[in-house]
Amino acid sequence: MEINFPPDAEILVEALKTNPDCGDIQFVTPNFSDANLRFLRDEMAIKIEFGDRYSSASTYHCLGTLAEAEENYAEARVNLQTALEIYVEYKEEYWGAIAREALERLQVHLDGNKPPI
């Protein structure tokens, strides 16, 4: 489901969080402010619509890598952490290790330190 107005999104998320039948729903609000990222948003929406949680991990991973390249470290961390959680859920050790390494690298930036050479 797509909601284009932040106040509406907040109302919907709050209503779903308080509904006892929605306890297993995971809420993610990716930031797609760059028009060039719309294809990733569309791809993620299709994967979510068809229940392809495993494949959505690669999309989150790509979004995290792209955000890191743009030096948007906080957004990169959110996306890579989501990807890692899915990798762990599906016992995908290889990609999980890559996501962990990326998160460790990001932590250096988030802590305000210079990355090692």
Give the per-residue pLDDT at 95. 95
Q: By C-alpha distance, which of 38, 14, 37 is closest to 27? A: 14
Give the per-residue pLDDT at 96. 96
Give the per-residue pLDDT at 3. 47
Give the per-residue pLDDT at 40. 74
Give the per-residue pLDDT at 20. 67
**What DSSP character marks residue 26?**
P
Q: By C-alpha distance, which of 40, 46, 42, 74 is closest to 60? A: 40
How far is the CA of 2 from the CAs of 7, 73, 101, 116, in angstroms? Answer: 13, 25, 32, 40
Give the per-residue pLDDT at 99. 96
Q: Tokens 């948003």 belong to which residue?
A: 41
List per-block mean pLDDT (blocks of 10 residues) for the chain, which spans 117 residues. 55 67 60 68 73 85 88 92 95 96 91 64
Tokens of 78: 């959110």
Give the per-residue pLDDT at 29. 59
Other beta carbons less than 10 A from residue 21's beta carbon: 7
Q: Is the pTM of this model over 0.75?
A: no
